[in-house]
Amino acid sequence: AKVHHHDFVVQATPVKRLCKTHNSITVNGMYPGPTLEVNNGDTLVVKVVNKARYNVTIHWHGVRQMRTGWADGPEFVTQCPIRPGASYTYRFTIQGQEGTLWWHAHSSWLRATVYGALIIRPREGDSYPFPKPKRETPLLLGEWWDANPIDVVRQATRTGAAPNVSDAYTINGQPGDLYNCSSKDTIIVPIDSGETNLLRVVNSGLNQQLFLKIANHKLTVVGADASYVKPFTTSVLMLGPGQTTDVLITADQPPSRYYIAARAYASAQGAPFDNTTTTAILEYKSANCQTTCASIKPVRAIMPAFNDTATATAFTTSFRSPRKVEVPTKIDHNLFFTVGLGLMNCPRGSRSRNCQGPNGTRFAASMNNVSFVLPSNFSLLQAHQQGIPGVFTTDFPGAPPVKFDYTGNVSRTLRQPVKSTKLYKLKYGETVQIVLQGTSIFTAENHPIHLHGYDFYIVAEGFGNFNPSRDTSKFNLVDPPLRNTASVPVGGWAVIRFVADNPGVWLMHCHLDVHITWGLAMAFIVENGVGGLQTLELPPADLPVC
């Protein structure tokens, strides 16, 4: 196994998009940032130097970080931020994961421009469980704002209203030829007639689930979130922010140019969203258009409607592990977490500047009625490891305070979220099941729920209220998919299971940044087990302090 050393310089860089130049925060002047390529078993050592004027941290999304929680990255969870002028070196080993992951800033909304792909190939000497692709291309889907994303989130937190939606979606940082001033920079993905290539698709967008389609081509899904899946064929992908999907594509169409297109899957009723479409172009080399290609009009991709839940569900329920897996069956913690938006009443008379949500309220979001607040003097992991009192409590509820019709039309006074920093404690090796139940206090929405430090099995998903006597019999305990981010369906639920075998403090949150901003998060403490292999490592000497 190799050790890969990288330097990440976080800095302001002029980036021109949609006819305007912005001073965007980037890594090494690149947007998107550098692609990291490793083999399973390798170690990454990434020195992050902060030359920007914002605090920053980097999260290695989906990397399990076995015993190396200090390298996970979420601000005030596993570390204090890297201040302007400071640096921190992340050191971790890839253990058993293969496929596509990614890295992104985990401070404020900096990940809008601070992100990149992390490609994990099989161990040296091992091969893919599918024929070796001719080429491999990462496709990072993103969201672009004309405004500074930090100002967009500040506006939302200050006013209590919803933030502005993005101005463009992007593929590998480019909006594509349906937007102003973007045509000549449209990403070209080359392919040769007859060859089969691997596309590594990542939804690095901030707030939108996205459909992706390639005109006239079928896609064979072979992996997701750095685990292989039982291959299945589809014409459309749907990814929530945070999720990755590896697909094989065979050039079996007449030589030409074909659109690769992505647009929102926006299932929430009435919530505004960016209704534009980003494009790249799949270009057959045998179209022999080295000089005249631009004159060949790409074949159009017919996209699903923005609210096509049937297509999204058909896709998300197609995932299986390649073979029978060991799903935990004796459950130590049977948890039920509501996930959803809510509204907070504003103090009487403060009908003001910071209460511009619906009817003079402010937006909030919560799990089991707790709207998560990050500490600011310590990281949760540091407070846990050093036994610093007063930073958090460990009474995160295992079930909602009151039962109600989660997906029905209920009065929001039933559930005014409470702001606090509550964690849920697990002993090393305990088994956990969580029913993630979407709510519709304000509006029903999909929630891509991401758990740090773990992969989990998604054993079932469905619509309406989870009903144990009806739904438990449908659990797939044979070959469910292993993921790090679960799309909880709009007006529905998903059930996940995992074994708490990685000590540390691990954030679980909705990967729509607007929802994490409003508090849709909680964290698990997983205590050390017995012996070195079950114990969190000591913090690195350069760990940033607050």
Interface residues toward ligand C2O, by CB under 6 A: 59, 61, 74, 104, 106, 242, 450, 452, 507, 509, 511
**Least Cβ distance, residue 544 to ligand C2O (angstroms):** 17
Rounded CA Rg of the chain: 22
Report how many helices (DSSP H) and strands (DSSP E) the chain contains, helices first: 5, 32
Nearer CB in complex with ligand C2O: 176/241:
241
Nearer CB in complex with ligand C2O: 248/449:
449
- Annotate 361-409 with DSSP letters as a single string: -EEEEEETTEEE---SSS-HHHHHHHT-TTS-BS---SS-SS---TTS-
- Annotate 260-274 with DSSP letters as a single string: EEEEEE--SSS----
- Annotate 108-154 with DSSP letters as a single string: TTGGGTSEEEEEEEPPTT---SSPPPS-EEEEEEEEE-SS-HHHHHH
443, 365 Cβ separation under 8 angstroms? no
Calculate ∠ Cα 44-508-35, nearest 5°.
30
**Least Cβ distance, residue 183 to ligand C2O (angstroms):** 31
Nearer CB in complex with ligand C2O: 466/506:
506
**Least Cβ distance, residue 62 to ligand C2O (angstroms):** 8
Calculate ∠ Cα 309-341-411, nearest 5°.
100
- In the three-class reduction of DSSP (H, G, I as helix; E, B as strand; rest coil), residue 487 is classed as strand
**Least Cβ distance, residue 102 to ligand C2O (angstroms):** 8
Nearer CB in complex with ligand C2O: 67/104:
104
**Least Cβ distance, residue 536 to ligand C2O (angstroms):** 19
Nearer CB in complex with ligand C2O: 75/283:
75
**Residue 120 has which token pair?**
């994990």
Please enumerate in sequence order all residues whose Cβ is within 8 A of that of 224, keeping only pairs 6 or more positions apart, or say none. Answer: 99, 243, 244, 245, 246, 319, 481, 483
**Least Cβ distance, residue 231 to ligand C2O (angstroms):** 26
Nearer CB in complex with ligand C2O: 186/484:
484
Nearer CB in complex with ligand C2O: 341/507:
507
**Least Cβ distance, residue 384 to ligand C2O (angstroms):** 18
Residue written as token pair 């992505």: 262
**Least Cβ distance, residue 485 to ligand C2O (angstroms):** 8
Paired residues of 524 in beta bridges = 424, 506
- Annotate 499-532 with DSSP letters as a single string: E--S-EEEEEEESSHHHHHTT-EEEEEE---SSG
Nearer CB in complex with ligand C2O: 263/511:
511
